Structure 1
Amino acid sequence: MTTAPRTPGRDRGFVPFVLPDTIDALPHRPFAFSRAGWEEARAATLAEPNELFRLLLRDQESESTLLVARRVIDAFLPAAEDRAPDAAAGTFADADAIAAEVQAVRAELAAVLAALTRSGPQARARALRGRAPLALSAGCRLDTLSQPATQPSVVVNRLFAHHLTLRGGGNPERGQARLRRRALESEGVLLPEIAAADFLDKARARPLTALHGSFHLALSRLPANFLPEVSGVHYAFHALGVDDLLTDTAPLLSEPDLREVLAEHLALAGPATRRRLYAAVRLTLDLEREHVAMLAELGAWHDNLTLESKVADIIARHAPLAGRQHGDVRIGGKALTDVFGAARIDLAGFLADLRESGHLRGPGNGDCRLLDAMRFGGPMFGIFDEHEAATFRAWAASVQAGERPVIEISPETAGDEAAERRRAAIARSAPADVVIAEAEPRDHRELFHRLVNIENFPNTLPIAAERAERCFRDAEILFVHGAGGRYTDASWFDYSPQALYERAERVYWEKLVDPYEPLREIPDRDEVLFRQSTYYLTYLIDGAWLHRLGNLGHDERETDAMLFAIYADEMGNGDLRKNHITLTHRVLASAGIRLPHIRDEAFIEQDELPDDLYGFAIQQLCMCLFPDRFHNEILGYNLAIEMFGSGEMRLHELQKLRHHGIDDCYEQAHLTIDNFSAGHAKQAADVIVGYLDRVRRTVGEAAVAEQWRRVWRGYASFAYFLEQPMLKRISAGDPPAGPDTPSPGETDDLADLVI
């Protein structure tokens, strides 16, 4: 049942949303978690620093991770708005004053780093390795800042433009992470991808490094609620440029560009936001001082190590991985499997035994059985890197020369004191704005509100996952009957790149473009506005289905960059005038429709947009919250929705809008960018082909069919909403024999098609 037309623009008793969106911070709201999520998070916050980092990096889909993020932020920035008094905030009321303080700290850190790396390439490589988790994750705070709750904010779009720059304009090879990785590799620091299980081990990450990284990842999980903090940390971190100083490379974001965005945020900000932003700047200065001091401490520790301590450090790193590989080898009468399998290795005792063993005897130049085992063909070939092997050779030579210094093992403790303070703060963190509540939205409107503001309603995530999965399952009915769709064809076919392109091409021309004929009669204004109102709810979340794809740790597929580029286009590539959410609000204003922002509670009570549309919009918001679980389905959905941006329906809407003097910018934009020759529709097909080709190359041909089925049910899930008239006839036992067309007297309004 559809909602009857209504006269737009009546006073609803709420403040309408007006462009530009000059919000400086979202209104403070509590964070609602279920009891189960609370219990899971409690254990996670007590984890070792490396495990905390891995959790926040890898899991972007569970409510417990969001609670962990909230606690980490609270531990680093407890009651941030109360930490910087008004007087202090006023001292740094403008961006230039903040910049002066940051530049003074940069000069201080530059001097420390210069001294740290002065002793040679090994010292430089150690510093780069010690910074790698922070250097390669820098910018993650902006990953999901652009979302339905924050668009089209002026500040968010300015920051999104920076995000796009850091991502190489959609080309990851030009992005910050790839450039820094190449700089690391040029210094001999070779590391796996940041999400790899052994990344932190290979980076030899200190606990303090993992905790600092966890703070930045925590901000990336709740950026809408902590916009001032994200803005302050973003400016200070990149303006300090510790990683640029270490790698001796030019920054992708210049300090003047960073300062310009900071100044714009400050100009919009009230006193409370200024305090929060400034507290975030000061925290970042403290953190970077703390981390550079740790690098200096680590460098001094290495420089002061005796040869025996250097060998002990190498053995300590490799011993946990030795397992039972040494068989019957014995040192000092003890089996190596027992020595390395002990809960705590007596390194001093082991070294004393090893240097008296036959494994180190030789002619005096370091050659010995131990070194032979490390060479090509030996049982330990490839275990130790070149620098480690050279350390063993030097030690063997000293032993063969008769040197027997007292073995004193110097433990590696750089940054541990600061790390323990940070860790204790996380363990005792109990933010006052966290509440335990089970999710029971009373209707579609409240569910929509929670999904838009999902950071504040993590307890709704299980509901979202179940709804999305149910829709995908139900949509598979179109694998059988989809050919009868009026705008889509979700009928099943066996995948090949050629078959996909042929299907998409046929749908584009036969169902979307060729049927077009100009309208001979234009409906009256009220009818046109009502039909438009059936689209607006989905227009207001344009691009949402893609906004969580390709985040840090989830962006290693070649196709992720293509998806990010499509989303960036939807957001105007950071240009607020071209942002599709901005275009939607322009159209609404020209039609005289006044609505609150979809993030506001007042939107729940709006009565301009029909209830029938909420199911369609809710499905988009549900699936997008699970970019890993529903990755394949999102690829198929993306193809369907991008193809629907062109053709008969959009051309008819253009004709009607122009006739009645209503802004047609949104419709025009999609006709421009969604075409199937080189636009988003073609790119969406290319993404699927590229993704499945990667599956074939990495997993095998047999896996492609399973992955393809999930992709295609994502396409079918869009058709499932769009082709409701056909589905109603199928349900009544009267499936169409050919492409669906309206029965006599049946309207083709989307209010009837999408429910």
Structure 2
Amino acid sequence: MGDDGLTLAVRTVFARACEPEDTPLPDTLRPAIADELDRAGHEGDPRCGLPAAAAWADAERARFTTLFATAELQGCADVLVRRAVLACAPLASTTGAWLQWMSEPGNAEEPVTLRALALFAADVGAGHPGASRGDAYLALMRHVRVAVHARPAARLAHDRRIADPSFYLPALALTMSRRPDAYRGEIIGLDLCSRAVGLPPPLAGVRTRRPDAVDWAALDPGRARGPGLAPALDDARAVAAAFTEAVGPAGTTAIERGFAWAFAALRRWSDEVYRELDAARDPSFEMAELMRSRAREASAYHDRFVMRGRPLKQWLAEARTDPAPFLAALADSRLVRPGRSGASRLTGELVSESGRMFRVFPDADLDVINRWIDALPADPAERARLRPAAHQPRSIGFRPAPDTAGDTGAAPADLREAYTRLLRRTIKPATRRYALRYVEGWLARSRHGMKPAARSLPAEPPADGLRPWLLDQHDLHNSEFQAGSDSPLPDRAELIDSTLQLAPLTLIDGAWLAGHTDYQLASAERGHFLFETYWDELGNGEPKLNHPLIYRAVLREMGIDLPPTRSPEFAAWPAFRDPSFELPVYWLAIGRFPLTFEPEILGLNLAMELSGVGGSYRRGRQALEQYGFSTAFVDVHNTIDNVATGHSAWAADAVDGYLAQQAPAARTDAWDRIRTGYRSLNPPSGFWARNAARRARVEASAHV
């Protein structure tokens, strides 16, 4: 990381934890996270139950509502609205994001995973772009006009108007989300606490001022996301119950630990925000903040202007730590007319189009200065007694452990070991490098000798989008099915063997899209198609619709009862042949890099969703039906992958959306990468193609 022995600022931790691809941050912060979790108190703290959290939140929201009512009488409620919205931004913009990696290809059949993914899907508004709880909060920030650093959420770390304490809880929660293997119970506990608390207390005051500004129900993580749905708090309880049932007492302890930490962190943060907002009712508070933030750059100038016998440059240099003396001198200077901002040179002549400070202060800063001047008493004696309200939020940092993870562990020895390792979200750096090399090699093989053909994407992106091409492909599949309708079906032994050999692939259905469970991607304009596809593959939280479970049921009908997918025994199953792991490892590997290989994933997704519709699924149904096996697996795919409203259509729309956002000069390269991804579902297997793959893996090794 390059941070050994240093302290990482909490906003740095927040920004890094928002990155969707692998990061060593959770490992280097492991001791710091343990210390923070242990700060919340001992196990069984009576303050940490659901009723206590809900009661505290109600009382806290009432406290903020009263504060805003007081500010309303004083004419400064809008100041508090702006500051409260900013203070809540890191938390409210990432509500539920700590659940983003709770599902992984190796646990896609487990009840806890299905319940957690259902809860997360509601948070991100599965199936709708820009419909996450975070997007609802973005709408509020835009309404209040404080959204300059709001998208993506990582950029909030750049906004110096937001104090460190507002990053503390989301920074650690998101960091833990990148290590669900280590913090699964704690993540469930902190999520349960968030739902029990509901609408962040400072926002209660904002809601009284802007009741129609936003979908307020979406900003309450304990509320349902739609009519007729259960409250999210009830769903979070169900997740906790399922985890406790699966893990036992250790699971309960972990949940309580996460809940206690989150509740303590929320109480500290809310107190911090309340003190800030209370202080901000005094115009001199914001003026002092402004001067402190701008003094460093301003002190490079103004060496000729003198106040009270000293150059303005000196005043400004001291204002970086204590702006009160400077503000007192400024109030008495010829630049300011106390009580009359409209007549003051500082907010008039100097900042006019012909003034020496034109555009030095943006409108928001001028509002702060005007408010401060208008509140200054005319009597010099009264002004002498003024001092800005004091509230300096604490800086927060974490000391990482030495980063020894960089070269620990060996790369997987073979495909079976790679398969087992890549089933998990958390992998060692050596395995990550293996995955990157594997993808690069596979894509090089897919690019080899690529020419326009009936089975490939067109050489150029269709001007009217992919939907017409999609229908042509469907017609082709149907024609081939009809033409082969008299062909003999495989015998029973062949059918069982082919079904078994597909198990390593089919039991990780959607693995190429696993990276799109990331909060920011799952609700994005094109990413929402990919997340909803992934969500469908896992059954939308319903075990009876879960594709891996449906496939296991077919295998059991065939007399095959495989070990759990995530277990080493699964990959070692002697009836599997080694080549049966080649494509699954590619799926697992590329799914780890949703940004690095975005166009290739879009192409692969289109190929995968279209591959069986209208043709091979129908052929498979005939074979299964002939021998009395359930056809549920092929039936569900032939319907949900349809080319009109199903996964194939979504895949085409995602590609079209991606291309539309590319600059014209970049579109050709993007399309070539999409075509490569499309072909990667079934790449050439000849000597020269595999030789291209070997060369690409060697080149990739030199850069990772």
TM-score between both structures, scaled by the size of structure 2: 0.83
Give the whole-Å Cα distance in 2 for the aligned partners of 1:708 and 1:331: 63
Q: Once the two structures are superposed, what CA deviation does each residue of 1:20-41 show, in whole Å capped at 9, x if it has no partner?
A: xxxxxxxxxxxxxxxxxxx546
Give the whole-Å Cα distance in 1 for the aligned partners of 2:406 and 2:165: 30
Deviation at 1:298, TM superposition (A): 1.9
Alignment correspondent of 1:103 = 54
Alignment correspondent of 2:576 = 609
Is contact 1:314–1:388 with CA below 8 Å preserved after alignment?
no
**Does residue 317 of the first structure (1) align with residue 293 of the second (2)?**
yes
**Does residue 714 of the first structure (1) align with residue 693 of the second (2)?**
no
Alignment correspondent of 1:56 = 17
Is contact 2:516–2:531 with CA below 8 Å preserved after alignment?
yes
Give the whole-Å Cα distance in 2 for the aligned partners of 1:241 and 1:348: 39
TM alignment of 1:458-469, pairs within 5 A: 458-469=429-440
Give the whole-Å Cα distance in 2 for the aligned partners of 1:195 and 1:322: 30
Alignment correspondent of 1:440 = 411
**Matched positions, count:** 659
Is contact 2:446–2:679 with CA below 8 Å preserved after alignment?
yes
Deviates more, 1:386-395 or 1:437-446: 386-395
Alignment correspondent of 2:115 = 158
Deviates more, 1:294-303 or 1:259-268: 259-268
Matched letter for residue 514 of structure 1:
E
Give the whole-Å Cα distance in 2 for the aligned partners of 1:322 and 1:664: 74
Give the whole-Å Cα distance in 1 for the aligned partners of 2:345 and 2:197: 49
- Rate the CA distance shift 1:580–1:297 in 2: closer, same or farther, 3 A: same
- Rate the CA distance shift 1:712–1:182 in 2: closer, same or farther, 3 A: same
Deviation at 1:641, TM superposition (A): 0.8
Counterpart secondary structure, 1:573: coil
Alignment correspondent of 2:442 = 471
Counterpart secondary structure, 2:678: helix
Is contact 2:604–2:679 with CA below 8 Å preserved after alignment?
yes
Counterpart secondary structure, 1:169: coil
Alignment correspondent of 1:36 = none
Tell me how large the CA RMSD over aligned residues is: 3.6
**Does residue 298 of the first structure (1) align with residue 276 of the second (2)?**
yes
Give the whole-Å Cα distance in 1 for the aligned partners of 2:445 and 2:86: 50
Give the whole-Å Cα distance in 2 for the aligned partners of 1:354 and 1:554: 49
**Does residue 682 of the first structure (1) align with residue 639 of the second (2)?**
no
Give the whole-Å Cα distance in 2 for the aligned partners of 1:71 and 1:509: 59
Give the whole-Å Cα distance in 1 for the aligned partners of 2:667 and 2:115: 40
Give the whole-Å Cα distance in 1 for the aligned partners of 2:551 and 2:201: 40
Counterpart secondary structure, 2:269: helix
Deviation at 1:444, TM superposition (A): 0.8
Is contact 1:454–1:460 with CA below 8 Å preserved after alignment?
no
Alignment correspondent of 2:384 = 405
Give the whole-Å Cα distance in 1 for the aligned partners of 2:302 and 2:447: 56
Matched letter for residue 315 of structure 1:
M
Is contact 1:546–1:634 with CA below 8 Å preserved after alignment?
yes
Is contact 2:13–2:171 with CA below 8 Å preserved after alignment?
yes
Alignment correspondent of 2:105 = 148
Matched letter for residue 279 of structure 2:
W
- Rate the CA distance shift 1:498–1:265 in 2: closer, same or farther, 3 A: same
Alignment correspondent of 2:193 = 236
Give the whole-Å Cα distance in 1 for the aligned partners of 2:58 and 2:339: 51
**Does residue 597 of the first structure (1) align with residue 564 of the second (2)?**
yes
Deviates more, 1:174-183 or 1:207-216: 174-183
**Does residue 508 of the first structure (1) align with residue 508 of the second (2)?**
no
- Aligned residues: percent identity? 23
Alignment correspondent of 2:212 = none
**Does residue 133 of the first structure (1) align with residue 90 of the second (2)?**
yes
- Rate the CA distance shift 1:374–1:258 in 2: closer, same or farther, 3 A: farther
Q: Once the two structures are superposed, what CA deviation does each residue of 1:536-591 show, in whole Å capped at 9, x if it has no partner?
A: 21111111111212623446741122222222221222222112122222222222
Is contact 1:371–1:389 with CA below 8 Å preserved after alignment?
no
Q: Once the two structures are superposed, what CA deviation does each residue of 1:473-527 show, in whole Å capped at 9, x if it has no partner?
A: 22111423x627xxx325x612244374454444333256534432543332211
Is contact 1:133–1:203 with CA below 8 Å preserved after alignment?
no
TM alignment of 1:7-156, pairs within 5 A: 40=2, 42=4, 46-58=7-19, 60-68=20-28, 70-71=30-31, 73-77=33-37, 88=44, 98-120=49-71, 121=77, 122-156=79-113
- Rate the CA distance shift 1:99–1:62 in 2: closer, same or farther, 3 A: closer
Deviation at 1:401, TM superposition (A): 5.8
Matched letter for residue 239 of structure 1:
A
Matched letter for residue 444 of structure 2:
R
Give the whole-Å Cα distance in 2 for the aligned partners of 1:362 and 1:272: 64
Is contact 2:22–2:592 with CA below 8 Å preserved after alignment?
no
- Rate the CA distance shift 1:70–1:511 in 2: closer, same or farther, 3 A: farther
- Rate the CA distance shift 1:114–1:79 in 2: closer, same or farther, 3 A: closer
Is contact 1:56–1:69 with CA below 8 Å preserved after alignment?
no
TM alignment of 1:154-303, pairs within 5 A: 154-186=111-143, 189-195=146-152, 198-202=155-159, 204-243=161-200, 246-247=203-204, 248=207, 249-250=216-217, 251=220, 252-253=223-224, 254=231, 255-303=233-281
Is contact 1:112–1:292 with CA below 8 Å preserved after alignment?
no
Give the whole-Å Cα distance in 2 for the aligned partners of 1:67 and 1:608: 37
Matched letter for residue 427 of structure 1:
R
Is contact 2:340–2:373 with CA below 8 Å preserved after alignment?
no
- Rate the CA distance shift 1:229–1:40 in 2: closer, same or farther, 3 A: same
Counterpart secondary structure, 1:205: coil
Give the whole-Å Cα distance in 2 for the aligned partners of 1:203 and 1:118: 27
From 455, 460, 465, the equivalent of 1:494 is: 460
Give the whole-Å Cα distance in 2 for the aligned partners of 1:479 and 1:169: 35
Give the whole-Å Cα distance in 2 for the aligned partners of 1:329 and 1:584: 80
TM alignment of 1:376-395, pairs within 5 A: 380-381=358-359, 383-386=361-364, 389=367, 391-395=369-373
Is contact 1:633–1:712 with CA below 8 Å preserved after alignment?
yes
Counterpart secondary structure, 2:18: helix
Deviation at 1:631, TM superposition (A): 1.1
- Rate the CA distance shift 1:715–1:512 in 2: closer, same or farther, 3 A: farther
Is contact 1:450–1:460 with CA below 8 Å preserved after alignment?
yes
Matched letter for residue 596 of structure 1:
P
From 525, 540, 563, the equivalent of 1:558 is: 525
TM-score between both structures, scaled by the size of structure 1: 0.78
- Rate the CA distance shift 1:374–1:552 in 2: closer, same or farther, 3 A: farther
Alignment correspondent of 1:744 = none
Alignment correspondent of 2:593 = 626
- Rate the CA distance shift 1:631–1:529 in 2: closer, same or farther, 3 A: same
Give the whole-Å Cα distance in 2 for the aligned partners of 1:315 and 1:264: 53
Q: Once the two structures are superposed, what CA deviation does each residue of 1:120-161 show, in whole Å capped at 9, x if it has no partner?
A: 323344233212111111100121222212211112211211
Give the whole-Å Cα distance in 2 for the aligned partners of 1:292 and 1:413: 15
